[in-house]
C-alpha cells in the first residue's frame, strides 16, 4: 500500500474516483503523455491505465491519415520490472518488453531517460491509416524488497507520424540493395 501512495505523490494528484472514462486525443510529435496504474485510486480498483486526477480509465485516441503511418511508443517510468498489456480498439495488441527489476531505484517522470535505459519496459507499435483508441493495463509488476508486486507505476505514450514510403521508392531501394549484393558476390568469386 505504501508504494501506491508514493507513486501517486509523484504526480501530485488526488482522486475523486468517479466511474467515467477519460480519453486523450494524441497529437503527433507532441511529447510524452502520462498514465498511471494505482489500484488504490482507480475507480474500478484494477490495474488498468488511469487518469490520476479522478481515477477514471484512460485511453489515448488518434487518427492516421492515408499515406502516413504512426508509431506509438509506450514506456514504463516507475520502477523497472513492470510490463504493460497494450490494447488497440479493444483488442489485444501486444505486451511491452520484459524488464529487470530495479526497486527501490525509480526513473520517476523522465520518460526520455526511461526510454534510453533498456532495463525499463517499452514497446513501439506501427499503425496504418485509420482511427485508434489505445489503452493498457499492468500485466506484470516490479517487485519490492520483500519480493511482493508493487502493482502501481507511472508510464507514458508518445505518437510520431511519418509518410509511408511510396512503392516505387521502396522498389528502387530493394533493387539497389540486390544489385550491390550481386556485385559483392561476383567480386568474391
Which three-class secondary structure string do you get for the chain? Answer: CHHHHHHHHHHCCCCCCCCCEEEEECCCCCCCEEEEECCCCCCCCCCECECCCCCCEEEEEEEECCCEEEEEEEEECCEECEEEEEEECCEEEEECCCCCCCCCCECCCCHHHHHHCCCCCEEEEEECCEEEEEEEEEEECCECCCCCECCCEEEEEEEEEEECCCHHHHHHHHHHHHHHHHHHHHHHC
CATH architecture designation of domain 2-188: Sandwich (2.60)
pLDDT (0 to 100) of residue 11:
40
Task: Going residue by residue through the chain, which has 189 residues, state the pLDDT in tens, using 9 for 90 and above.
Answer: 444 444 444 443 434 444 578 999 999 988 999 999 999 999 999 999 999 999 999 999 999 999 999 999 999 998 899 999 999 999 999 999 998 888 888 888 999 999 999 889 999 999 999 999 999 999 999 999 999 999 999 999 999 999 987 665 556 667 677 767 666 666 666
pLDDT (0 to 100) of residue 13:
40
How many alpha carbons lie under 13 Å from residue 150 in its C-beta half-sphere?
Answer: 29
pTM confidence score? 0.77
pLDDT (0 to 100) of residue 124:
97
pLDDT (0 to 100) of residue 102:
85
Amino acid at each position: 500500500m505504501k508504494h501506491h501512495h508514493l507513486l501517486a505523490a509523484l504526480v501530485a494528484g488526488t482522486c475523486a474516483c468517479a466511474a467515467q472514462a477519460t480519453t486523450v486525443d494524441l497529437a503527433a510529435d507532441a511529447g510524452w503523455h502520462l498514465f498511471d496504474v494505482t489500484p488504490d485510486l482507480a475507480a474500478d480498483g484494477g490495474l488498468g491505465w488511469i487518469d490520476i486526477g479522478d481515477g477514471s480509465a484512460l485511453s489515448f485516441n488518434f487518427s492516421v491519415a492515408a499515406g502516413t503511418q504512426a508509431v506509438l511508443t509506450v514506456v514504463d517510468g516507475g520502477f523497472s520490472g513492470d510490463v504493460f498489456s497494450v490494447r488497440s480498439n479493444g483488442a489485444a495488441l501486444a505486451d511491452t518488453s520484459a524488464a529487470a527489476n530495479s526497486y527501490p531505484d525509480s526513473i520517476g517522470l523522465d520518460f526520455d531517460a526511461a526510454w534510453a535505459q533498456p532495463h525499463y519496459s517499452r514497446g513501439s507499435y506501427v499503425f496504418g491509416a485509420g482511427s485508434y483508441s489505445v489503452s493498457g493495463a499492468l500485466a506484470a509488476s516490479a517487485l519490492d524488497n520483500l519480493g511482493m508486486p508493487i502493482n502501481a507505476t507511472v508510464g507514458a505514450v508518445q505518437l510520431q507520424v511519418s509518410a509511408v514510403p511510396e512503392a516505387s521508392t521502396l522498389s528502387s531501394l530493394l533493387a539497389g540493395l540486390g544489385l550491390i549484393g550481386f556485385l559483392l558476390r561476383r567480386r568474391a568469386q
